[in-house]
């Protein structure tokens, strides 16, 4: 009941065979997974997602196969993704790259002025309040404005964040699916994945990364160039040489890896 309340659901498991997907040896691989749009379908707002009830269990099982080298790499804050990954104890990179949860402890990876971020959050919320359909999301190190429910206001959201971008030199504006984000310079999923791959226990293993968004492209490209397995989830241009149709296919593939 609790699980249903916060958006968990059961899911019939279909054939996990994904045509064209190379065989992987998890024992010598490191698995990096985006969350929204990759493990779960996107919803109208970040807290409206539906998570299959076996998600954490599946992630834990795959993590065991790769000796703990399974990392969630999300644009969300660690705190906002944790409730959906309750039974998963492995590493989480949030922010994306602004914070990390290692051994259950979340720490900041980049210095930002909390007062500045709070003030930007206030302004974003005030802006969204006068533009019905826009949703302002506060993150520990930045802000996001979602326009999924009001695509006609995308240009207004962009213009607003451009002004904040120009007046806050330590931050930069990013475009993601149905959202614009202002985040600190010097972070990114590709930088976090690279840093992990340079150190134990990741160094010397094959990187695998699944991502769905334009913000995942630099990481997909890096993983591909490094000889790893880069997998784009869904439609759209990509640097990845592999593609799966949707998050459901990703989940079924992970279930098959968990059982292998
Ligand atoms: Mg995503």
Task: Give, for 256, the enclosing helix (H) or strand (E).
Answer: helix 247-259
Q: Give domain limits for the chain.
A: 30-38+48-110+187-259, 114-184
Identify the pLDDT of residue 1: 41
- CA angle, 231 as apex, 228 and 234 as ends, to 5°? 170
Q: How far is the CA of 119 from the centre of ligand 1 (A)?
A: 26
What is the pTM (predicted TM-score) of this model?
A: 0.90
Give the other-Cβ count within 10 Å of 51's Cβ: 22
Cα separation, 251 vs 173, in Å, equals: 31
Residues with CB under 5 A from ligand 1 (ion): 34, 36-37, 212-213
64: CA distance to ligand 1 center in Å? 24
SS3 of 211, please?
Answer: strand
What does each of the 260 residues of the chain score in pLDDT, given as a tens digit? 444 455 667 776 555 567 778 899 999 999 999 999 999 999 988 899 999 999 999 999 999 999 999 999 999 999 999 999 988 999 999 999 999 999 999 999 999 999 999 999 999 999 999 999 999 999 999 999 999 999 999 999 999 999 999 999 999 999 988 999 999 999 999 999 999 999 999 999 999 999 999 999 999 999 999 999 999 999 999 999 999 999 999 999 999 999 98
Per CATH, the homologous superfamily of domain 114-184 is Trehalose-6-phosphate phosphatase related protein; domain 2 (3.30.70.1020)
What CATH class does 30-38+48-110+187-259 carry? Answer: alpha beta
**How many angstroms is it from 47 CA to the middle of ligand 1?**
14
């Amino acid at each position: 009941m609790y699980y249903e309340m916060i958006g968990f659901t059961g899911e019939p498991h279909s054939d996990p065979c994904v045509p064209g997907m190379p065989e992987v040896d998890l024992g010598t691989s490191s698995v990096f997974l985006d969350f929204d749009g990759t493990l779960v379908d996107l919803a109208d707002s970040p807290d409206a997602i539906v998570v299959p009830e076996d998600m954490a269990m599946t992630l834990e099982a795959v993590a065991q196969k790769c000796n703990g080298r399974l990392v969630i790499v999300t644009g969300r804050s660690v705190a906002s993704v944790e409730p959906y990954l309750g039974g998963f104890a492995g590493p989480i990179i949030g922010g994306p790259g602004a914070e990390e949860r290692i051994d259950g402890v979340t720490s900041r990876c980049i210095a930002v002025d909390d007062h500045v971020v709070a003030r930007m959050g206030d302004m974003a919320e005030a802006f969204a309040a006068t533009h019905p359909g826009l949703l302002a999301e506060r993150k520990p190190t930045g802000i996001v404005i979602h326009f999924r429910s009001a695509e006609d206001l995308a240009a207004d959201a962009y213009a607003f964040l451009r002004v904040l971008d120009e007046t806050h030199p330590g931050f930069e504006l990013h475009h993601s699916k149905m959202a614009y984000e202002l985040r600190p310079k010097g972070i990114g999923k590709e930088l976090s994945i690279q840093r992990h791959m340079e150190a134990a226990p990741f160094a010397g293993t094959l990187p695998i990364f699944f991502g769905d968004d334009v913000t995942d492209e630099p990481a997909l490209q890096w993983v591909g160039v490094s000889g790893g397995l880069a997998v784009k989830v869904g439609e759209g241009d990509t640097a990845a040489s592999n593609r799966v149709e949707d998050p459901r296919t990703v989940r079924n593939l992970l279930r098959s890896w968990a059982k292998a």
